[in-house]
Amino acid sequence: MYLRVFSRLFSAMAGPRPVVLSGPSGAGKSTLLKRLMKEYEGVFGFSVSHTTRNPRLGEENGKDYHYVSREAMQEGIANGDFIENAEFSGNMYGTSKASVQDVQAKNLICILDIDMQGVKNIKKTDLNPIYVSIQPPSMEILEKRLRDRQTESEESLQKRLEAARIDMELSKEPGIFDVVIVNDDLEEAYSTLKEVLIEEITKVQEANKS
Ligand SMILES: Nc1ncnc2c1ncn2[C@@H]1O[C@H](COP(=O)(O)OP(=O)(O)OP(=O)(O)O)[C@@H](O)[C@H]1O
Ligand SMILES: Nc1nc2c(ncn2[C@@H]2O[C@H](COP(=O)(O)O)[C@@H](O)[C@H]2O)c(=O)[nH]1
C-alpha cells in the first residue's frame, strides 16, 4: 500500500516520461512529431540535437538543430556535454544533456528524434523513455518519400537507404521498442501514436490545470 503510494508520488515528482522516436530517415518521424507538438501545445518539448550537417531550406538554428562544426561537436563530446552521439550518413548527430534538461525543467514530455545507434546508447542511461519506432510501409515507398522531399544528394540518399535496410531489420527484434508504427496512412499512424502516448499526455495536461 505505502509502496504503491510512494511509487505514484515518485513518478509524479519525476515528471513525464520522455519519448524516443526512431526509424529510417524519411519514415515520417518529423511529420508526426510536428503534428503532435501542434495539437498538444504546452505538453511536448523537442530535444534539439546538435549536428554537423548543413541546414535544409526552412530549418532554423536552435529550433530544428544546433548546427555546429565537427570540431565543436568533438569538443562537446570530450567535455561530456552529450547523452549520446552518432555518425549518420557522413555527419555527426548528438543529444546534449542541456537539450533534454531544458525540456524536463518545464515538466514537458521530451521528444527525442534519434537514429538506432542513439536508441542503443539511450538504453544505457537512466532516461527511461517510451521507445517508438516509425517504419515505412516498404523500401520502395521510403525511397520515393526521400526523393520527393528533395533534401538529399544522390550519395546521401543511398547512404540513408542503406541505413534504413539495417534499421528496418533491427526494429523487428523484440525488446528494443515499446511499439513499432508503420507509417503508411498518415492519419492512422498519427492516431496510433497518440494512443501510445495518451497516458503521459493526460498527466501533463492534468498538471498544467493545477
Ligand atoms: N504517411 C505518409 N504518406 C506520405 N508521405 C509521407 C507520410 N509521412 C511522411 N511523409 C512525407 O515523407 C517525407 C519524409 O518525412 P519526414 O521528413 O517526416 O521523415 P523523417 O523520418 O523525419 O526523416 P529524417 O529522419 O530524414 O528527418 C516528407 O516529405 C513527408 O511529407
Ligand atoms: N543518434 C542521434 N541521431 C539523431 C539525432 N538527431 C537526429 N538524428 C537522426 O539522424 C538521422 C538523420 O536526420 P536528418 O535530420 O539529417 O534527416 C535521423 O534518423 C534522425 O533520427 C541525435 O541527436 N542523435
Please state, in angstroms and as integers, the Cα–Cα distance from residue 141 to each residue in 27, 28, 48, 138, 170, following that order.
Answer: 9, 11, 28, 5, 19
From the list 8, 56, 70, 147, the catalytic residue is: 56
Q: Cα(57)–Cα(92) distance, rounded to whole angstroms?
A: 19
pTM: 0.94
User: Residues with Cβ < 8 Å from 141, sequence gap 6 or more?
Assistant: 184
Give yes or no for residue 136 CB within 6 A of ligand 1: no
Q: What pLDDT score was predicted for residue 13?
A: 55
Q: What pLDDT score was predicted for residue 210?
A: 80
Nearest CA to ligand 2 atom 15: 25
Q: Does the ipTM exceed 0.90?
A: yes
Task: Give the chain's domains with CATH numbers.
Answer: 2-47+108-209 (3.40.50.300)
Q: What pLDDT score was predicted for residue 4?
A: 46
- Pick from 209, 194, 207, 206: nearest CA to 130: 194
Q: What pLDDT score was predicted for residue 3?
A: 44
Give yes or no for residue 56 CB within 6 A of ligand 1: no
Pocket test for ligand 2, best of 31, 49, 112 (most atoms within 8 A of CB): 49
Q: What pLDDT score was predicted for residue 115?
A: 97
Q: What is the pLDDT along the chain (210 residues), one digit of tens a residue?
A: 444 444 444 444 568 999 999 999 999 999 999 999 999 999 999 999 999 999 999 999 999 999 999 999 999 999 999 999 999 999 999 999 999 999 999 999 999 999 999 999 999 999 999 999 999 999 999 999 999 999 999 999 999 999 999 999 999 999 999 999 999 999 999 999 999 999 999 999 999 988
Contact between 25 and 167 under an 8 Å Cβ cutoff? The reply is no
For 12-41, give one letter per residue: b (16+ CB within 10 A) or e: eeebbbbbbbbbbbbbbbebbbebbbeebe
Which residue has cell 505505502? 2
Please state, in angstroms and as integers, the Cα–Cα distance from residue 202 to each residue in 18, 86, 160, 173, 180, following that order.
Answer: 14, 33, 36, 30, 22
Q: Cα(21)–Cα(2) distance, rounded to whole angstroms?
A: 35
Give yes or no for residue 99 CB within 6 A of ligand 2: no
The ligand 1 atom at the shortest distance from the C-alpha of residue 149 is 29
Phi/psi at 100 (5° precision): -75, -45
